Amino acid sequence: MSAPAPRENPHLMGHVAAERAMLEAMRGGRLHHAWLMTGPDGVGKATLAFRFARRLLAGGAETLDLEVGHPVFRRVAAGSHADLLTVEREWDEKKKRLKKNISADRAREIPGFLHLTPAEGGWRVVIVDGAEDVNPQSANALLKVLEEPPARAVLLLVSASPGRLLPTIRSRCRHLALEALPEADMERVLSLYLPSMPAAERAHLASLAQGSPGRALNLAEHGGLAVAGLVDEVFQKMPEFPLLRGYEMADSMREEVAFDLFFSLLRGGIAGAVTAHLRGAADGVQARLLGLHGVDWWGAVWSRLGEIQRETEQHNLERRQAVVAGLGLLT
């Protein structure tokens, strides 16, 4: 079972301080015209943005919770509320993937939308999901709104990489930094959506996801535990990883999701080993890896693996060969 899309999701685990800040701003009549919600991918940023938007559009400020059967909840979930505009990367039908950037045409809708009179007499709200993906023209459209904010209008920017936003945009927003979820909250999330999965497997997913419930559920949906097992096998057999076994692994990585997971987990394992080593807390496998090669060597491999992954995606290269090349760096 996967989590609902953020606009349809009635649940948000953790992030109590962020919700409290929004509620207090609503109650005190000091609602900032722009909010920047940052944090790791899949941690709940967009879900919080839609929770806030629903409450603002429905009225009241006792809690951000809104019943699933409430008319505002249903219309927001359906994308049909007249006072809410969502701007995000669009689907590229030709390439069968999301486009790399939010189009300038979509961003240019924002100023005009926010300056309209609210259709239901309350607020106008715009959610920009993946605000770091705006191109320069789109960024200028956002900046125009932030410099001259209309009355009773709120702009919610969701970003996993706020450093890619213009400083002039960041400085005009109230910032809410969402952190990775603690172990207890991760267990609650995974128990809710993966009730039939054994507790040990849920714990393994939580560990791999590093406090991101969205990432954990994505791993579960796309065989992440099996891919993680392959990554563990690679590290355990270094430095004499069998070439034939490498080709067998590569044959199972022809699909984009498995390929991306493999490289992400491989790089994550390297980063985790280096971090643990520097903190003096490396476990047996991590200590052995750092005994084989130094931090600088692993840093160079981590960077090159990222380059291989990006080049394969950007130029639509053969994934099987990319996996072989990546594994070749480790032997």
Give, as one character, the DSSP assignment of residue 149: P
Phi and psi of 141, rounded to 5°?
-65, -40
H or E, element range at 296: helix 295-314
**Residue 88 above 80 pLDDT?**
yes
CA-nearest of 322, 276, 319 to 295 is 276
Q: Which residues of 2-27 are buried (b: 16+ CB within 10 A; e: fewer)?
A: ebeebbbbbebbbbeebbeebbebbe
Mean pLDDT of 178-189: 94
- Per the CB < 8 A criterion, the answer to whether 326 and 305 are in contact is yes
Model pLDDT for residues 106-163, shown as the tens digit of each residue: 888 999 999 999 998 789 999 999 999 888 878 888 888 899 889 999 999 999 999 9
Taking the model in full, what pTM does it have? 0.86
Mean pLDDT throughout 254-278?
Answer: 90
* Confidence (pLDDT) at 297: 96
